[in-house]
Amino acid sequence: MTIDTSLPAPGQASAAGAASAAHEPVLPGEHFERLRAELSGDLVLPGEDGWDSARAAWQLLVDQHPAAVVVAADVHDVATTVACARRLGLHVAPQSTGHAAGALGPLTDTILLRTARLDGIAIDAEARTARVGAGVTAAALAAAVAEHGCAAVSGMAPSVGVVGSTLGGGLGWLARSHGLGVNSILSIDAVDAQGHVIRVDAEHHADLFWAVRGGIAPVIVTAIELQLHEIGELHAGALMWPLERAADVAHAWREWIEELPEAVTSLARVLRYPPIPEIPDFLRARSFVAVEAAIQADAATAASLLQPLRDLRPELDSVRPMSPAELSTVHGDPAHPAPGFGEAVVLTDITAASMDALIDVALEPSSQSLLSIELRHLGGRTAPGGTAGGVVSAIDGAGLVFAVGLVPFPGALAAVKDAATAVADRMQPFASSAVVKNFAERPTAAATLYGIDAERLRRVACAWDPEGVIRVGHPLDGPLAAPVKRDTPPVLD
Ligand SMILES: Cc1cc2nc3c(=O)[nH]c(=O)nc-3n(C[C@H](O)[C@H](O)[C@H](O)COP(=O)(O)OP(=O)(O)OC[C@H]3O[C@@H](n4cnc5c(N)ncnc54)[C@H](O)[C@@H]3O)c2cc1C
The 10s digit of each residue's pLDDT in 110-157 is 999 999 999 999 999 999 999 999 999 999 999 999 999 899 999 999
Instruction: Give 323's DSSP letter.
Output: -
Ligand 1 atom nearest the C-alpha of 216 is 47
Q: Is the CB of 324 under 6 A from ligand 1?
A: no
Report CA(170)–ligand 1 centroid distance (Å).
9
pLDDT of 443-477, one tens digit each? 999 999 999 999 999 999 999 999 999 999 998 87
Q: Do domains 121-230 and 235-439 have the same CATH topology?
A: no
Q: Is the CB of 161 under 6 A from ligand 1?
A: yes
pLDDT value, residue 146: 93
Looking at the DSSP bridge assignments, the partners of residue 283 are none
Top CATH class of 16-115+456-481 equals alpha beta
pLDDT value, residue 478: 57
Q: Is the CB of 165 under 6 A from ligand 1?
A: yes
Instruction: Please name the residues in contact with 49: beta carbons below 8 A apart, sequence gap of 6 or more.
Output: none
Average pLDDT on 296-314 reads 98
Using the predicted structure, report yes or no on whether residue 440 has a pLDDT greater than 90: yes
**All structural domains of the chain with their residue ranges:** 16-115+456-481, 121-230, 235-439
To test the pocket of ligand 1, the residue of 118, 156, 160 to mutate (highest count of ligand atoms within 8 Å of its CB) is 160
Beta strand extents in 381-459 (DSSP E only): 399-406
pLDDT of 189-204, one tens digit each? 999 999 999 999 999 9
Integer CA distances (angstroms), 365 to 49, 107, 361, 405, 421, in order: 45, 37, 9, 14, 14
Residue 277 binned pLDDT confidence (cut-offs 50, 70, 90)? confident
Rounded to 5°, the CA angle 66-69-72 comes to: 145
Residues 185 and 112: their CA atoms lie apart, in Å, by 25
Confirm or reject CATH 3.30.465.10 for domain 121-230, answering yes or no: yes
Using the predicted structure, report yes or no on whether residue 484 has a pLDDT greater than 90: no
Instruction: Give 196's DSSP letter.
Output: -
Percent of the chain with pLDDT over 90: 86
Amino acid identity for residue 65 in this structure: H
Name which of 140-144, 337-341, 478-482 the model is least confident about: 478-482
198-201: long-range pairs with CB below 8 Å, 24+: 201/225
Helix (H/G/I), strand (E/B), else coil: 221: strand
Confirm or reject CATH 3.60.40.10 for domain 235-439, answering yes or no: no
Residues 264 and 297: their CA atoms lie apart, in Å, by 9
Residue 340 binned pLDDT confidence (cut-offs 50, 70, 90)? very high
Q: Is the CB of 115 under 6 A from ligand 1?
A: yes
pLDDT value, residue 24: 60
Mean of the per-residue pLDDT values of the chain: 91
For 380-402, letters b (16+ CB in 10 Å) and e give bbbbeeeeebbbbbbbebbbbbb
Q: Is the CB of 100 under 6 A from ligand 1?
A: yes
pLDDT value, residue 166: 98
To test the pocket of ligand 1, the residue of 92, 438, 474 to mutate (highest count of ligand atoms within 8 Å of its CB) is 438
Average pLDDT on 397-410 reads 96
Average pLDDT on 309-322 reads 98
Helices 75-88 and 28-38 meet at what angle, rounded to 10?
170
